[in-house]
């Protein structure tokens, strides 16, 4: 069985698209679909409940953040393979079938991940891939979280998301998987379309700090970690300046 988890809060404008996308996936395995809501005050839950028993389990209550919401979904999951797709993202057609076939062929693989398309509405911003050079993933693991599928026992062995991380909880967990020696494979194809503007995207600099804390926690090379931390700040500052300049030109 697959378990797919969607977390949401006040996502009335996008939740239906994500639900329809998950329900449209075709594979031989049974698919358990869990929606975890953080206490929406808009029409989100009215939309979610309208799908009736097509959604296997609905949890709607205040939470302590994204990590807490993820963990509620994982604790409720019955599936052998667990994936997460957020409330404004979507899988490409046939993704669950590809995952199912791959993990059946390679039973030793415990985690798989792939590429994603970053969109602003219908406009493609970029194709996000893992780093190409061996020393980057060695010292700073970069997975596309929505494209990741995990065998259930990985969470049993390594634990759930650390709720002390508000924006880099997936980064810290990936480091934990690497440190524990989980068998991880990258599939060089697109699994997900993701909309720009998520919590991590809105809090980039805080995310950088949490990345650094996670690297220190897991005994990574700290001089290199600090170098990456400063480099990412410089690059992001340049990008922010470009955005401000473009806005200034646009409004003249």
- Percent share of the chain, pLDDT over 70: 81
pLDDT for 222: 64
| 241 inside domain | no
| 128 inside domain | yes
- Kindly tell me if the per-residue pLDDT of 121 is higher than 90: no
HSE at residue 126, side-chain half, CA atoms within 13 A, is 5
Between 250 and 248, the higher pLDDT residue: 248
| 16 inside domain | yes
- Percent share of the chain, pLDDT over 90: 56
If you average pLDDT over residues 209-227, what whole number do you get? 72
| 143 inside domain | yes
Rounded to two decimals, what is the model's pTM?
0.83
pLDDT for 133: 60
pLDDT in tens, 4-18: 999 999 999 999 999
The angle at the Cα of 40, spanning 38 to 43, to the nearest 5 degrees, equals 145
If you average pLDDT over residues 153-181, what whole number do you get? 91
Q: CATH no. for residue 28?
A: 3.90.550.10
pLDDT for 239: 66
Mean pLDDT of all residues in the chain? 85
| 224 inside domain | no
pLDDT in tens, 186-195: 999 999 999 8
pLDDT for 123: 86
Residue 74's domain comprises: 2-201
- Kindly tell me if the per-residue pLDDT of 103 is higher than 60: yes
- Kindly tell me if the per-residue pLDDT of 250 is higher than 50: no
Q: At 198, is the pLDDT very low, low, confident or very high (cuts 50, 70, 90)? A: low
- Kindly tell me if the per-residue pLDDT of 200 is higher than 70: no
Tokens representing residue 235 in the block: 């690059």
Instruction: Decide: 34 and 57 in contact? Cβ < 8 Å.
Output: yes
Structural domains counted in the chain: 1
HSE at residue 132, side-chain half, CA atoms within 13 A, is 1
| 121 inside domain | yes
Between 175 and 204, the higher pLDDT residue: 175
pLDDT for 75: 96
pLDDT in tens, 30-58: 999 999 999 999 999 999 999 999 999 99
Number of neighbouring beta carbons within 10 Å of residue 120: 10
Helix (H, G, I), strand (E, B) or coil at 187: strand
- Kindly tell me if the per-residue pLDDT of 252 is higher than 50: no
| 137 inside domain | yes
| 214 inside domain | no
pLDDT for 120: 85
Q: At 245, is the pLDDT very low, low, confident or very high (cuts 50, 70, 90)? A: low
């Amino acid at each position: 069985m697959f378990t797919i988890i969607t977390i949401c809060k006040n996502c009335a404008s996008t939740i239906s698209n994500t639900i329809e996308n998950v329900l449209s996936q075709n594979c031989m395995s049974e698919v358990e679909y869990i929606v975890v809501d953080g206490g929406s005050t808009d029409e989100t839950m009215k939309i979610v409940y309208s799908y009736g028993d097509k959604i296997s389990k609905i949890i709607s209550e205040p939470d302590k953040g994204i990590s807490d919401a993820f963990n509620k979904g994982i604790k409720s999951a019955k599936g052998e393979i667990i994936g997460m797709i957020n409330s404004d993202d979507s899988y490409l057609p046939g993704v669950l079938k590809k995952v199912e076939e791959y993990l059946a062929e390679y039973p030793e693989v415990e985690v798989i991940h792939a590429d994603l398309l970053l969109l602003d509405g219908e406009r493609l911003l970029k194709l996000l891939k893992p780093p190409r050079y061996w020393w980057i993933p060695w010292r700073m693991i970069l997975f596309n979280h929505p494209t990741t599928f995990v065998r259930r026992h990985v969470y049993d062995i390594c634990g759930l998301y650390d709720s002390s991380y508000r924006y880099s909880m997936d980064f810290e967990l990936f480091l934990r998987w690497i440190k524990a020696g989980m068998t991880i494979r990258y599939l060089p194809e697109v699994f997900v379309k993701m909309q720009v503007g998520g919590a991590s995207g809105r809090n980039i600099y805080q995310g950088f700090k949490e990345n650094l804390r996670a690297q220190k926690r897991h005994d990574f090379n700290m001089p290199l970690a600090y170098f990456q931390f400063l480099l990412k700040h410089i690059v992001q500052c340049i990008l922010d300046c470009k955005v401000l300049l473009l806005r200034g030109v646009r409004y003249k």
